[in-house]
Amino acid sequence: MTRTSAPPNAPAVAPRAPRAALPVMTLAAGLSVAGNYFAQPLLGVLRAELHMSATVAGLVVAVFQIGYALGLALLVPLGDRYPRRDLAAALLAATGVLLALAGLAPNGPLLLAATGLVAVTSVGAQVLVPFAAEIGPPERRARDVGVVMAGVLGGGLAGRAFSGAVADVAGWRSVYWITAALLLAVAVAVLRTLPATAAAGTRPGALLRSTAALLVELPALRRPVAVAALGMAGYSAHLATLTFLLDGPPYRWSASTIGLAGLIGAVGPLCMPLAGRFVDGGHPRAVLLTGLALATASWAVLLPARDGGAGWLAAGIVLLNIGQTAMLNASQNISYELRPEARGRINAVFMTLFFAGGAAGGVLAPLAWSAGGWGGVCGLAAALTGLALLAALRPYRA
């Protein structure tokens, strides 16, 4: 990875982005994270073929969240030192190689280990998110961030649908190998399409220390980060347990059907640029509160799904995903504006704690499932999201 020179601590300066930059970034972000979600609709297949217990299978979501949080903490801040384009391309290529290796896993523990490593390098998507804010015009900043984040969220949804459909036809291992090839191709596209940027001269060790210090230096960063972490903890509850609900009675859906059901949530990523438009218009707090209110209410709608109410399930997933994406766009952009020259490090702090919250939800949700089934999961998630809403009701101060 090359590094161009710039004055110490200077922010990266990007030339004007080509028209194809935003679509390439969005595609790359989606493919980067897709592999983290492959196992979710396949839990029934993996449990049978790799002899995984329900507890180990449920930990697939938590392992992804933990690995992603580590990557965010250790790798994403490097985007404020090295050219974001080069760093993102390197991480995309590494994710492709690791996915190919994950497809060779002979048992559950090794698949869990591979999942964690893939999650660490898949943070290339989060190198691209602040890059979108950097190279786009200021009046479209939140919308451009929203488009790339829609790619991130859409990659998760598409990954679940893709893995279920391909696994039914060609086996679960082929899912990983096909995506590995696509990631290597998109890494080349990133290098050829995105603009090169200068990089700061800060040493990596100092950069990581300054990243950790941001929560102390920027007290206003703590609230949006805490709100987002609680919201993600509630959202992860359905990621960790929805397959358990749909794989058993009264649904008994196949892996491909479970994967396709995840596409219902695509309405959330599609709404991300719209949320960004309202944030750009000066209404971030209204977007934040509306999103959290919708996400909290969604769990009351999802509760009847335990009795086979597919209509309730679809409506609840739609509300949950719209609320989650609105909350995420607003809280991200509130955070980014606190110190524009440190967006890479702010994004690292934000997303590290965001996915740490997701990991906590991923660990708690299988326990709630074991204790109270789908009703226990809904109660847990509603409580977590409700806490986020209460925290957000207090006004933010820069």
Which domains can be identified in the chain, with CATH numbers? 21-392 (1.20.1250.20)
pLDDT (0 to 100) of residue 3? 43
Residue 397 reports pLDDT greater than 70: no
Residue 183 reports pLDDT greater than 60: yes
Rounded to whole angstroms, the maximal C-alpha distance in the chain is 63
pLDDT (0 to 100) of residue 396? 55
Is the four-CA dihedral 360, 228, 152, 135 of positive or negative sign? negative
Residue 1 reports pLDDT greater than 70: no
Q: Give the CA distances from residue 42 to residues 52, 117, 173, 258, in Å, rounded to whole numbers and listed in that order.
A: 12, 19, 11, 9
Residue 207 reports pLDDT greater than 90: no
Query: How does the average pLDDT of the chain come out, rounded?
Result: 83
Is the CB of residue 380 less than 8 Å from the CB of residue 230?
no
- pTM score, whole prediction: 0.70
State the number of CA atoms in the 13 A half-sphere of 56 facing the CB: 16
Pairwise pLDDT comparison (5 vs 336), residue with the higher score: 336
pLDDT (0 to 100) of residue 10? 43
